Amino acid sequence: MPEAEAAAVVTGGGSRAAGPADYERFITLFSPEGRLCQLDYAFNAVKLAGITSVGVRGDDSVYVLTHRKEDKLHDPTTITNLFAITDRIGLLATGMPGDGRAIAQEARNAAAEFRFKWGYKMSPCMLAQWIADRAQIRTQHAQIRPYGVVSMIFGIDEEKGTPELFTCDPAGQFFAHKAASAGPKEKEVMNFLEERMKSKPSLSSGTTKGLAKSALKHVLEGDFYAREFELGFIKKGDPTVTLHPVKFKRTRRITKNPHDLAVQRHLSHHCSLERRLGPLDERRERRDDPPRQERLESRDLEKGNPERRVFSTQILHPIRYMQPFKLGT
């Protein structure tokens, strides 16, 4: 764009052509590329917090999960990104903690005024639209800045009776989601969720929670079990928002030693012999029973089957033909 056609900035002494510094400084000025630079910086502020969040909507529930930064000198009960707006609506703010707390307080006031005025509770969709409208207004006035927060609104719609999940970004856009993510590793989480939900699976409450956990575990890798998380969920059977901190524990798979497996097989073999042939003392007594042994051998020889004689003796005297057990084989 030629400089002569550039936008004019009105100042106290008159007007002048807007330069590159003005495009970056004023939220109300578009750059020559058609962008609002302050909005781009607001999206960068969401990622700068270093917190990745994920939300998954199932058939009968919604789960949101986020990790929080740990500081040994802070009281963990005073640090949260999850807020209960009403008993049926929750909000997860990803980005600048101060902006998230301010949005949550404004949303609580709006929900209370809505119920007082209309006589019924605000739905998650209405609340998401209200927050998006507030964020969009902040892109039109030069004296205020955009929110540096992406808000996830989750809850149960009383009229429809279905779980809902929405996101609102600093530009004032809001969308309904089956699964959503926000933060520095948003793209990796979304790729993981798209791959898992490609076949449109039926998500129960437990499966929904496991999918949210697996998505964060996929991107955090080794740091997953060392971090503390905040979990929020709501179910159709119990339509009350539940928020609480959680720390996942590693489940170890116990692999048996081959030496132990050999010992176990040997012991099970002896137990089967005890059940089938009786105790060891009785078998030893039967081993020294020459009349019965000779009777069996003579019968086998008369039938012309000398091999069966050995078989009969093996069944009668299993101890005689057992190989000594060697550990490690």
Question: 84 and 159 share a domain?
Answer: yes
Query: What mean pLDDT comes out for the span 26-42?
Result: 86
| Domain interval for residue 313 | 258-321
User: 192, 226, 246 — which closes off a domain?
Assistant: 246
Average pLDDT over residues 236-241: 90
Please check whether residues 198 and 311 belong to one and the same domain. Answer: no
Whether residue 235 is found in the same domain as residue 305? no
Residues 293 and 178 in one domain: no
Q: Are residues 107 and 167 in the same domain?
A: yes
- Token couple for 202: 């039926």
Q: How far, in Å, CA of 183 to CA of 169, rounded?
A: 11
Angstrom distance (rounded) from CA 37 to CA 35: 6
Q: Is residue 23 part of a domain?
A: no
Contact call for residues 27 and 145 (beta carbons, < 8 A) = yes
pLDDT class for 327, splitting at 50, 70, 90? low
Say whether both 119 and 169 belong to one domain: yes
pTM of the model: 0.70
Residues 239 and 301 in one domain: no
Based on the fold, state whether residues 157 and 276 are members of the same structural domain.
no
Question: Looking at 211, 246, 281, which one is the last position of a domain?
Answer: 246
**pLDDT tens per residue across span 286-316:** 555 555 445 545 555 555 555 444 444 444 4
As a whole number of angstroms, the distance between CA 186 and CA 218 comes to 12
Q: Quote the number of domains for the chain.
A: 2
pLDDT recorded at residue 5: 41
Question: d(Cα 30, Cα 1) in Å, to the nearest integer?
Answer: 12
Domain assignment of residue 183, yes or no? yes
Q: Alpha-carbon dihedral of residues 146, 76, 87, 130, nearest 10 degrees?
A: 0
Do both 240 and 272 map to the same domain? no
b/e per residue, 33-67, with b = 16+ CB within 10 A? eeebbbbebbbebbbebebbbbbbbbebbbbbbbb
121-159: pLDDT as tens digits: 999 999 999 999 999 999 998 888 999 999 999 999 988
In a domain, 36, yes or no: no
- Residue at which a domain ends, from 246, 281, 296: 246
Residue 133 lies in a domain: yes
How many CB atoms neighbour CB 82 within 10 A? 24
* CATH code for the domain in which residue 183 is found: 3.60.20.10
Q: Are residues 185 and 290 in the same domain?
A: no
pLDDT in tens, 135-145: 999 999 888 89
Q: Which residues of 160-173 are buried (b: 16+ CB within 10 A; e: fewer)?
A: eeebbbbbbbbbbe
pLDDT at 111 over 90: yes
Structure tokens, 80: 């949260």
Structure confidence by residue, pLDDT tens digits, 242-287: 998 888 877 655 545 555 666 666 666 666 666 666 665 565 555 5
- When the pLDDT of each residue in the chain is averaged and rounded to a whole number, the result is 79
Inside any domain, residue 193: yes
Phi, then psi, of 237 in degrees rounded to 5 = -65, -30
Q: For residues 7 and 29, is the Cβ–Cβ distance under 8 A?
A: yes
For the segment 180-227, what is each residue's pLDDT rounded down to a tens digit?
999 999 999 999 999 998 887 889 999 999 999 999 989 987 777 778
User: Do 138 and 169 fall into the same domain?
Assistant: yes
91 in any annotated domain: yes
18 belongs to a structural domain: no
Distances (CA, A) of 57 to 17, 54, 89, 192, 232: 49, 10, 14, 15, 12
Residue 25 inside a domain? The answer is no
Same domain, 195 and 310: no
In contact, 122 and 115? CB cutoff 8 Å: yes
Lowest mean pLDDT among 14-28, 84-98, 307-321: 307-321
Cα–Cα distance for residue pair 130/73, rounded to 1 Å: 37
